[in-house]
Amino acid sequence: MKRVPMLIDCDPGVDDAIALMVAAQGADLVGITTVNGNVGIDATTHNALAVMEVAGLDVDVHRGAARPLISPTVDARHVHGPTGLGSVEIPQPRRAEASADAVDFICDTARAVSHLHLVAIGPLTNIALALRKDPNLPSHLGGFTIMGGAHRGGNVTASAEFNIWADPEAAAIVFSEMGMLTMVGLDITHQVLMGPAERDRLRAAATPCAVLAADLLDHAVARAGEIRGWSGAPIHDATAVMAVLDPDLFEGDHRPVAIELNGSHTRGMTVIDERPGGLDGRTGSKNNANVLRTVNAEAVVTAITDAVIAVDQQ
Ligand code: RIB
Ligand code: CA
């Protein structure tokens, strides 16, 4: 089966790192762009290069935005650790970044690669800037999927998910100008938990990627236990990649989704219009997102684990 050409925009990040491995195995990963998010742009770029080195993969990494469009720069070091990869010791990458212009790379690659699927698993700053540079970007993409938002609730605040909250102005541009996107929100990713069983299976596989993923899971499972009392860690970003690689494991429906920018308690919230008229625009708002509602979580967890183990056998 022909592998989907994929470009991942990310902020590695523990779950981003696992997502890169899954994409490297399941897709034709044509490139990686990095953005400020979980940690600063130097660290996210370093981490993306380091993960590709561990995986023994020749995939270029292009540095992107160092800060949000308008919001102050934030991070999630309290979740991902000071380096962004937990307490994992990862070898210094020997390759350098291919460029410091992620936006150009996104726009040029969309025009050059047929049916390219763009997957954004960090704040949407680079994607918004790419839309500003090339308003025709949506017409050159085969698809666009994000890990972001939530049907209700949040993780970084009571009402907002981190990727949207970190740069809500960018998210507003992307949701209003990308045409149609697939939204993999917390309602889905909070069902896709990897825990000790998956960690032990990865460690037993003893491949470079599997051992790195097991070490990352050690950190993520401990943090999920401390923050939420869960026995497994939500693997947000790899779930978004799986929504592209195996869409039959998910179900969603098309809805109008707006980004709240001004609420003192709701800034960064994804406001999903559930009114019946929203399905055909009677509410005056356009359906702009395929909001995923259900997931075969057990199958996704198994597929992520299988993919990580298989990476090094390429
Ligand atoms: O809210 C989860 C998202 O925020 C994930 O992409 C995680 O890596 C962080 O960026
Ligand atoms: Ca991320």
Taking the CA of 187 as reference, the closest ligand is: 1
Of ligand 1's atoms, which has the minimum distance to the CA of residue 240?
A: 6
Distance 275 CA to ligand 2 centre (A): 30
Q: Is 34 in the pocket of ligand 1 (CB under 6 A)?
A: no
Residue 85's nearest CA partner among 252, 272, 238, 214 is 214
Residue 235 in contact with residue 193, Cβ under 8 Å? yes
Strands 28-34 and 61-63: parallel
Q: Is 162 in the pocket of ligand 1 (CB under 6 A)?
A: yes
Distance 282 CA to ligand 2 centre (A): 35
Taking the CA of 185 as reference, the closest ligand is: 1
- Please tell me the distance from the alpha carbon of residue 249 to that of residue 291, in angstroms, as a whole number: 14
Q: What is the largest CA-CA distance in the chain?
A: 55
pTM of the model: 0.96
Q: What is the pLDDT of residue 313?
A: 65
Condensed to tens digits (0 to 9), the pLDDT of residues 234-273 reads: 999 999 999 999 999 999 999 999 999 999 999 999 999 9
Residue 255 in contact with residue 289, Cβ under 8 Å? yes
Q: Is 305 in the pocket of ligand 1 (CB under 6 A)?
A: no
Of ligand 1's atoms, which has the minimum distance to the CA of residue 76?
A: 9
Give residue 46's identity as a one-letter amino acid code: H
Q: What is the pLDDT of residue 280?
A: 53
Output the six-digit token pair for 125.
């700053």
Q: Is 116 left (phi over 0), alpha (psi -120 to 50) or beta?
A: beta
Contacts 24+ apart (CB under 8 A), 45-49: 45/97, 46/93, 47/12, 47/13, 47/16, 47/17, 47/83, 47/84, 47/85, 47/90, 48/10, 48/12, 48/16, 48/20, 49/93, 49/95, 49/96, 49/97
Of ligand 1's atoms, which has the minimum distance to the CA of residue 13?
A: 8
Q: Is 39 in the pocket of ligand 1 (CB under 6 A)?
A: no
Would you call 145 helix, strand, or coil by DSSP?
Answer: strand
Domain range summary for the chain, segments of one domain joined by +: 5-311
Q: What is the pLDDT of residue 283?
A: 55
Q: Is 167 in the pocket of ligand 1 (CB under 6 A)?
A: no
Query: For the chain, which ranges sit under pLDDT 50?
Result: none
Of ligand 1's atoms, which has the minimum distance to the CA of residue 161?
A: 1
Distance 122 CA to ligand 2 centre (A): 4
Catalytic residues: 236
Q: What is the DSSP string of 46-104?
A: HHHHHHHHHHT----EEE--SS-SSSPP---HHHH-TTSSTT---PPPSSPPSBS-HHH
Q: Is 312 in the pocket of ligand 1 (CB under 6 A)?
A: no
Q: For the domain with range 5-311, which CATH number is right: 3.90.245.10, 3.40.630.30, 3.40.50.10790, 3.30.360.10?
A: 3.90.245.10
Q: Specify the residue for token string 């999920």.
A: 224
Mutation test residue for ligand 1: of 15, 41, 269, 270, the one with most atoms within 8 Å of CB: 15
Taking the CA of 233 as reference, the closest ligand is: 1
Q: What is the pLDDT of residue 305?
A: 98
Q: Is 13 in the pocket of ligand 1 (CB under 6 A)?
A: yes
- Please tell me the distance from the alpha carbon of residue 26 to that of residue 5, in angstroms, as a whole number: 10
Distance 235 CA to ligand 1 centre (A): 9
